[in-house]
């Protein structure tokens, strides 16, 4: 957002800066040409070039209103400026002419517009200055100094004033204003971004609190129920709500509100589920192998629910009662946004012919549906003891988020 606003701001103000410089330069060229004719007795080449540049540059400035191509307008100005400044320099003393400083103004204006243009015109100016030097020091000079000897000092004086005024009074002044306005705009944008981040942080915090409230309500509801199967169903729902609440909790505690560090999340979720299902004195060991991976909320929540279901099934049905057991969770990042999750236990397992289609287990159906929601695939790893899954999925964005279909 900030980059887009800054880009638009720069584009508009660069256009204003370029057009203002172009207009001032045309006016100064006309005035300088008149001064050369009336006061400096310069009648050859220089006044004609100044008038030609002023006229062509004025036309170029007016044409911008029709084509709106800032790059085209600026490059025409620069090429005209380099050409005319080179001609006037050659016919006013060559390398010793004070008008040679105008070449530096074109380079400076280039850097004020874009870095790329600045480099191009820097190299061109250096090349032109080198050619002017060698042309003036060779035996085959094709130009002469048309400035009368009595007017040379005044011509140099006006040329320097012309260059200094353009550089400081026009370019410098407008660049300073541009920089000040850009700084103010950036400050405003930064403040708005900070406000939105604070608001988003508060949203995640409230969502987490609301989900914890739902979890508490489910817990209170289960206390008045004697049927153990129903209590287990409510407990499973409570764990699903907690797994989502943890994502929002981790999001509002981070500087980056768009992603969470997934290893910490899985560690916290695993610890909670083991204590919730098996108790504090559990003999179940959870081995987690996850690198420093950060996932967005649209991937983190369905993946968290999937891990929740797989862990819950392993703790309830795979590792019986107070038996010892091992659960492993390994997440690997493949090419681009593709991931592979290996998750399972070394418990008793279940028959190969049982699957989410013919089973009445909600947890098993959710695992498969969540894998599909993550635009992935799931298969059982039958080479290992217990129940083990290999899940391939993609990191999805907000626009790609699809609801789970039962």
Per-residue pLDDT tens for 294-345? 888 888 888 988 998 899 889 888 898 888 899 999 999 988 789 999 999 9
In this prediction, residues 122-131 reach a mean pLDDT of: 89
pTM value is 0.55
Q: How far apart are CA 303 and CA 244, in angstroms?
A: 10
Q: State the CB neighbour count (10 A cutoff) for residue 317.
A: 16
Q: Is the pLDDT of residue 197 over 90?
A: no
What rounded mean pLDDT belongs to the chain?
83
Half-sphere exposure of 217 (CA within 13 A, CB side): 7
What is the per-residue pLDDT across 151-186, written as a single tens digit (0 to 9) for each? 999 999 988 888 887 776 666 666 666 677 777 878
Which of the four pLDDT bands, split at 50, 70 and 90, describes residue 6? Answer: very low
pLDDT of residue 12: 67
What pLDDT, on the 0 to 100 scale, is given for residue 1? 45
- pLDDT, mean of residues 244-261: 76
* Residue-level pLDDT at 34: 94
Average the pLDDT over each of 58-67, 234-243, 249-258, 280-289 and give the range with the smallest value: 249-258
> How do beta strands 294-296 and 259-261 pair?
antiparallel
pLDDT of residue 3 exceeding 50, the answer is: no
Domain boundaries, the chain: 2-191, 261-400
pLDDT at 170: 60
Q: What is the pLDDT of residue 350?
A: 83
* Distance set, CA 39 to CA 14, 43, 149 (Å): 36, 11, 13
pLDDT at 402 over 50: no
Higher pLDDT, 223 or 87: 87
* Over residues 142-149, mean pLDDT: 89
In this prediction, residue 257 has a pLDDT band, given cuts at 50, 70 and 90, of low
SS3 226: coil
Q: Which CATH code for domain 261-400?
A: 3.30.565.10
The arithmetic mean of pLDDT across residues 253-270, rounded, is 81
Per-residue model confidence (pLDDT) at position 112: 67
What average pLDDT score do residues 65-79 get?
85
Phi, psi (deg, nearest 5) at residue 142: -100, 0
DSSP string covering 278-320, please? H-TT--EEEEEE--S-EEEHHHHHHHHHHHHHHHHHIIIIIS-
What's residue 13's pLDDT? 64
Residue 404 has pLDDT above 60, yes or no: no
Mean pLDDT to the nearest integer, 209-214: 86
Rounded Cα distance between 118 and 51, Å, is 26
Pairing type for strands 284-289 and 325-333 reads parallel
d(CA 202, CA 220): 27
């Amino acid at each position: 957002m900030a980059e887009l606003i800054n880009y638009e701001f720069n584009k508009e103000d660069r256009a204003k800066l370029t057009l203002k410089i172009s207009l001032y330069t045309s006016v100064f060229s006309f005035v300088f040409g008149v001064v050369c004719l009336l006061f400096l007795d310069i009648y050859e080449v220089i006044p004609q070039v100044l008038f030609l540049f002023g006229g062509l540059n004025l036309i170029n400035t007016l044409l911008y209103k029709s084509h709106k191509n800032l790059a085209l307008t600026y490059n025409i100005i620069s090429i005209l400026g380099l050409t005319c400044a080179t001609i006037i320099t050659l016919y006013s003393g060559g390398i010793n002419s004070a008008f040679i400083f105008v070449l530096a103004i074109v380079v400076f204006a280039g850097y004020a517009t874009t870095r790329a243009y600045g480099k191009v015109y820097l190299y061109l100016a250096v090349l032109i200055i080198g050619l002017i030097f060698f042309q003036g020091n060779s035996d085959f000079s094709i130009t002469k100094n048309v400035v009368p000897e009595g007017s040379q000092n005044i011509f140099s004086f006006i040329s320097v004033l012309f260059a200094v005024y353009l550089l400081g009074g026009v370019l410098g002044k407008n660049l300073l204003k541009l920089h000040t306005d850009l700084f103010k705009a950036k400050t405003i944008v930064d403040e708005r971004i900070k406000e939105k981040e604070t608001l988003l942080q508060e949203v995640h915090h409230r969502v987490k609190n609301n989900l914890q409230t739902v979890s508490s309500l489910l817990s209170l509801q289960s206390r008045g129920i004697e049927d153990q199967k129903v209590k287990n169903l409510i407990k499973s729902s409570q764990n699903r709500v907690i797994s989502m609440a943890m994502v929002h909790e981790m999001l509002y505690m981070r500087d980056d509100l768009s992603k969470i560090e997934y290893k910490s999340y899985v560690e916290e979720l695993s610890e909670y589920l083991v204590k919730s299902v098996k108790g504090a004195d559990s003999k179940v060991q959870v081995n987690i192998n996850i690198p420093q991976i950060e996932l967005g909320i649209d991937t983190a929540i369905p993946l968290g629910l999937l891990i929740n279901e797989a862990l819950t099934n392993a703790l309830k049905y795979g590792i019986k009662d107070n038996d010892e057991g091992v659960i492993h969770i390994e997440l690997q990042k493949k090419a681009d946004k593709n991931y592979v999750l290996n998750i399972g236990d070394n418990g008793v397992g279940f028959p190969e012919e049982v699957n989410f289609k013919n089973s009445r287990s909600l947890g098993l159906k959710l695992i498969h549906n969540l894998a599909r929601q993550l635009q992935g695939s799931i298969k059982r790893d039958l080479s290992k003891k217990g129940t083990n899954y290999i899940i391939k999925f993609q990191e999805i964005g907000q626009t790609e988020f699809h609801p789970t279909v039962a």
